[in-house]
């Protein structure tokens, strides 16, 4: 209620004291209270600062949650890119093994007089191309591995060693589920730490506005003091007391009304900022929902495409073994199959990044 408790001890000695300042020889202890009856009755500077400090605890929590949410999304993007580059390296490694096996077989056939020298040269060139692709893929995987290691720390806040031996889960083994748009749009972004931070800022500004509104009141304070005889308080409930009322007011409260208008503008500006940020997050959520829908359909379609390319390659290999095809056609079919595998891996990686984006836009990665 804004009550202030006061205490003091007064002494006064001398030959020329004013009679009204005369005190007991041993001095006088004073204990009193001061109670505001108009301004500062509901809220004052000290209580306003206390209320805002309590709100600030929640605000720092939202700042931490928002930083965690952002960091987790960045880590998720790097992780799924790491998974893609690992998958790409495996695809290139398998293609290199197939090219080496084919070169060995064609070379043996040439030595037996069943193949032309040109087939041997062409198969050797393919081995060189596959080796170049594998080396480039290995370099890309190592580079993304280093980026991923920036996010890997143990409980003692030390970087985790030997991360080069780690391997991600195969993208093909991770279930691909259709996103339920209705649930995501219903939950929305209301629990995002950024928006919670705006709510706390608005609450703090509301406290400021209450304080500014409180100042557009006259000051009327009641004071009551108990007077002792030295430190003797026995007679304080009889006639040893002092009380009074003080009153003051401004004429037009120009400065106070200006402060109140400024407080109103700050709240309005913060509300507009929250609305803008909520719209941005909602649009991001909608964007990631669209991406997951499109990527889901593309993955289902392209899995069939990869299977078809693989079947064409197998048939072409059979024809090649029967002497009804050429190495050029084999190479062409294999390149298409390789491109399809890489494209499918990219789609799977992009889908997982989009799913992480949904959690980021909703603020779920902070928990």
Are 205 and 328 within one domain?
A: yes
Q: Do residues 7 and 31 touch, judged by C-beta distance below 8 A?
A: yes
Are 144 and 289 within one domain?
A: yes
Rounded Cα gap, residues 354 and 360, in angstroms: 10
Rounded Cα gap, residues 230 and 236, in angstroms: 12
Are 209 and 311 within one domain?
A: yes
The better pLDDT of the pair 185, 47 is held by: 47
State residue 237's pLDDT score.
Answer: 53
Are 353 and 303 within one domain?
A: yes
Are 233 and 172 within one domain?
A: no
State residue 293's pLDDT score.
Answer: 93
Residue 260 within any structural domain of the chain: no
Range of the domain at 104: 43-216+276-366
Residue 263 within any structural domain of the chain: no
Are 157 and 300 within one domain?
A: yes
Q: What is the mean pLDDT of the chain?
A: 88
pLDDT at 21 over 80: no
The better pLDDT of the pair 114, 308 is held by: 308
Q: Do residues 149 and 160 touch, judged by C-beta distance below 8 A?
A: yes
Q: Give residue for tokens 């931490």.
A: 64
Most confident residue range from 164-173, 301-310, 320-329: 301-310
State residue 238's pLDDT score.
Answer: 58
Residue 268 within any structural domain of the chain: no
Per mean pLDDT, which range of 75-89, 317-331, 339-353 is the poorest? 317-331
pLDDT (tens digit, 9 = 90+) per residue, 53-64?
Answer: 999 989 999 999
267: tokens are: 């709240």
The better pLDDT of the pair 228, 334 is held by: 334
Residue 262 within any structural domain of the chain: no
67-75: long-range contacts (C-beta < 8 A, 24 or more apart)? 68/365, 68/366, 69/192, 69/193, 69/360, 69/363, 69/364, 69/365, 69/366, 70/360, 71/151, 72/360, 72/365, 72/366, 73/356, 73/357, 73/359, 73/360, 73/365, 74/151, 75/148, 75/151
Are 212 and 238 within one domain?
A: no
> Over pLDDT 90: what percentage of the chain?
45
Give the chain's domain count. Answer: 2
Residue ending a domain, among 252, 268, 300, is: 252
Q: What is the mean pLDDT of residues 327-336?
A: 87
194: tokens are: 């950024």
Residue 97 within any structural domain of the chain: yes
Residue 271 within any structural domain of the chain: no
132: tokens are: 């170049």
Among the listed residues 262, 274, 260, 201, the one whose alpha carbon sits nearest the alpha carbon of residue 52: 201
Q: Do residues 88 and 141 touch, judged by C-beta distance below 8 A?
A: yes
Q: What is the mean pLDDT of residues 190-201?
A: 92
Is pTM, for the whole model, over 0.85? no
Among the listed residues 82, 44, 63, the one whose alpha carbon sits nearest the alpha carbon of residue 170: 82
Residue 133 within any structural domain of the chain: yes
Are 204 and 241 within one domain?
A: no
Are 82 and 51 within one domain?
A: yes
Tally Cβ neighbours within 10 Å of residue 360. Answer: 24
The CATH number that applies at residue 142 is 1.20.1600.10
Among the listed residues 255, 223, 227, the one whose alpha carbon sits nearest the alpha carbon of residue 241: 227
Are 153 and 291 within one domain?
A: yes
pLDDT (tens digit, 9 = 90+) per residue, 261-283?
Answer: 999 999 999 999 999 999 999 99
Are 290 and 326 within one domain?
A: yes
Are 228 and 190 within one domain?
A: no
Residue 200 within any structural domain of the chain: yes
Q: What is the mean pLDDT of residues 6-17?
A: 86
């Amino acid at each position: 209620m804004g009550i202030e408790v006061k205490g003091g001890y007064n002494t006064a000695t001398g030959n020329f004291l004013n009679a009204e300042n005369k005190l007991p020889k041993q001095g006088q202890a004073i204990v009193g209270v001061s109670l505001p009856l108009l301004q500062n009755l509901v809220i004052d500077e000290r209580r306003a600062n206390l209320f805002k400090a309590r709100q600030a605890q929640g605000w720092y929590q939202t700042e931490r949650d928002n930083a965690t949410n952002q960091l987790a999304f960045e880590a998720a993007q790097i992780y799924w890119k790491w998974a893609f580059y690992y998958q790409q390296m495996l695809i290139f490694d398998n293609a290199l093994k197939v090219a080496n096996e084919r070169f060995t077989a064609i070379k043996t056939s040439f030595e037996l007089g069943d193949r032309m020298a040109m087939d041997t040269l062409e198969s050797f060139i393919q081995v060189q191309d596959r080796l170049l692709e594998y080396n480039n893929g290995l370099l890309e995987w190592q580079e993304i591995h280093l980026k991923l290691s920036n996010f890997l720390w143990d409980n003692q806040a030390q970087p985790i060693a030997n991360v080069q031996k780690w391997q991600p889960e195969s993208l093909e083994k991770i279930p691909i589920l259709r996103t339920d748009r209705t649930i995501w749009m219903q939950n929305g972004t209301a629990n995002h730490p950024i928006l919670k931070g705006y709510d706390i800022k608005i609450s703090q500004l509301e406290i400021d506005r209450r304080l500014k509104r409180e100042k557009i009141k006259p000051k009327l304070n009641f004071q009551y003091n108990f007077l002792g005889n030295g430190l003797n308080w026995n007679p304080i409930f009889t006639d040893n007391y002092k009380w009074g009322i003080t009153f003051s007011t401004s004429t037009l409260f120009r400065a106070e009304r200006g402060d109140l208008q400024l407080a109103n503008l700050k709240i309005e500006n913060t509300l507009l900022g929250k609305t803008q940020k909520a719209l941005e997050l909602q649009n991001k959520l909608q964007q990631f929902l669209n991406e997951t829908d499109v990527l889901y359909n593309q993955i289902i379609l392209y899995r069939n495409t990869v299977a078809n390319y693989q079947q064409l390659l197998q048939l072409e290999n059979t024809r090649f073994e029967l002497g009804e095809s050429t190495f050029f056609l084999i190479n062409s079919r294999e390149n298409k199959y390789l491109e399809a595998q890489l494209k499918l891996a990219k789609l799977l990686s992009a889908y997982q990044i989009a799913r992480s984006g949904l959690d980021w836009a909703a603020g779920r990665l902070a928990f």
